[in-house]
Structure 1
Amino acid sequence: MSGIRPQKDGWEARARIGVVVPHADVGPESEFQAIAPDDVFVHGSRVHFGAMRPGGEMDPKIPHDPVRAFVEAPHIDQAVELLAASPLDVIALGFTSSAYVLGADGEKELFDRLAAYTRGLPLTGTTVAAVAGFTALGARRIALVNPPWFDDELSALGADYFTKQGFEVVHHGPCGLPSNQKLITPEALAEWIRSTVAEHRPDAVLVAGNGIRAVGVIDALEQETGMAVLTANQVLFWHALHLAGAAEAARSVTGYGRLFAAEPSGGAA
């Protein structure tokens, strides 16, 4: 069958990104794939998260014990090890609240532990990526918009995380939207940020929480407010691309924020 011109079959990857997510959450994979260039592919691994029920249902405020348990051995270690057995270029942890609870020191200990299971692949997480993203954009004054299922204590732990990384947190708190993934619309999220966050005049805002629907409003909010807009999955995907050695793919992304024109300080560090 000489002269055959095969159709695309999914094997022509410029980069393959693995992402570890809570068992009932489709947000990180969905938003990664929405942003991804045609030749960047996303592969998921799941870990049971005790605060989620089948169908992605959660309590109005998630308890902290399941948040901490999500990153305890052995389950996340096994998920990372199984994912790393695939021919990937990078692994991302699609979970924000565990880093808030652990703090920067505890998060480093987690990454050090998981390094034994990554087969040498680079590893990133939402808060690590956000620090890299804020730094790349030259943002020092930041606002944190957390999901409505985060309580005030968890939000305060997030503010403490970024304060200890040298940022001035001018606003933080759970957003005033229904505490249900299916009821959060891009329009409602954008209006809440406009009316509640913009007045604090941050250099950048982070919409934290990988399960909140957010990437679709980034570009419009940046154009309207002038502040840089980062979201959990957007910044995690951006950082993963750079760690994967796919900076050109990152620069090709348009419509999802000025972040994709920025380079991490020192390359992909």
Structure 2
Amino acid sequence: MTAPAGIDYGDRGRIGFLVPSGNSVAEPELHAMLPRGVTGLVTRLELRGSSEAELLKMAEGLEAAARLLADAQPALIGFHCTAVSTFAPAMAEDIRRRIEAAAGLPACATADGIVTALALLGVRRLLLVTPYIQPVHDREIGFLASHGIETIGGGCLGVATNAEMARIPPATIAAQARAAAAAAPGAAACFISCTAIRSAGLIAPLEAELGMPVLTSNQIMAWHVTRRLGLADAVPGFGALMRR
């Protein structure tokens, strides 16, 4: 017996996601970009703002949240916050280790997907477009540099909370990407970073317009966990990465 139309129970794979408490965008975008038969199960960790203290506090509840997700028996747990997982070069490794120890399951972080995707695409110079406040944006540039990736252009919007990020019109983000590409030719990709902004619908149109791969945090995570499951499904409509 098959499931009713529109219901996906994740019979090919279930992924557990740990997301910021104030994020209302990651779940719908992830579900849209996961292949048929793969579903996401979500637990939240407290994060509303973007101060250094708030970002670091999100990781304090990792173990308890990971154990809750483990009850649903996912194949993998993904810590899904770009700003926290790229906070420092070793942050993602520490997050992975703690989740795996607490849950007894494989784990990954958004930062892992970023590095893996950029390596696959051969990207060494990129545009970084974010909604963040400047210190968060700058830390991400530093994280990318620690992996040999040069940020040659882009910018940030100075938005501090997940709730505000979700209200940024996609047209504003698209204009930001266009301006970055015009100001800094020579990039191999445009990375629209942040799990909390409405960016999924921009990927394919901007790729066609800018002539380069366009990556987003939610797209990268959907792709990364799908490949970690051992699945090679292409998900149409969400850019070149989802065909790799």
TM-score normalised by structure 1 residue count = 0.82
Structure 1 counterpart of 2:20: 22
Q: Does the residue aligned with 1:37 lie in a helix, a strand or coil?
A: coil
The alpha-carbon distance between structure 1 residues 243 and 50, as it changes in their structure 2 partners (threshold 3 A), is same
Q: Does the residue aligned with 1:42 lie in a helix, a strand or coil?
A: strand
Cα deviation 1:161-191 (Å, max 9, x = unaligned) = 0001011111243137897234312222112
Give unpaired runs (5+ residues) of structure 2: none
- Structure 1 runs, 4 residues or longer, greater than 3 Å off: 4-12, 175-179
Give unpaired runs (5+ residues) of structure 1: 52-61, 263-269
Alignment of 1:1-269 (within 5 A): 7=4, 10-11=8-9, 13-51=11-49, 62-72=50-60, 75-101=61-87, 103-120=88-105, 122-147=106-131, 150-175=132-157, 180-201=164-185, 202-247=187-232, 249=233, 251=234, 253-262=235-244
Contact 1:81 1:118 in 2 (8 A): yes
Partners in 2 of 1:242 and 1:12 — Cα distance? 15
Contact 1:218 1:256 in 2 (8 A): yes
- Work out the percentage of aligned pairs sharing the same amino acid: 26
Contact 1:19 1:43 in 2 (8 A): yes
Partners in 2 of 1:10 and 1:99 — Cα distance? 29
The alpha-carbon distance between structure 1 residues 261 and 198, as it changes in their structure 2 partners (threshold 3 A), is farther
- Root-mean-square deviation (CA, aligned residues, Å) is 2.2
- In the alignment of these two chains, the number of paired residues is 240
Cα deviation 1:129-151 (Å, max 9, x = unaligned) = 0111111111111121111xx22
Larger Rg belongs to:
1
The amino acid that maps onto 2:74 is L
Per-residue deviation, 1:196: 2.6
The amino acid that maps onto 2:23 is D
Deviates more, 1:21-30 or 1:162-171: 21-30
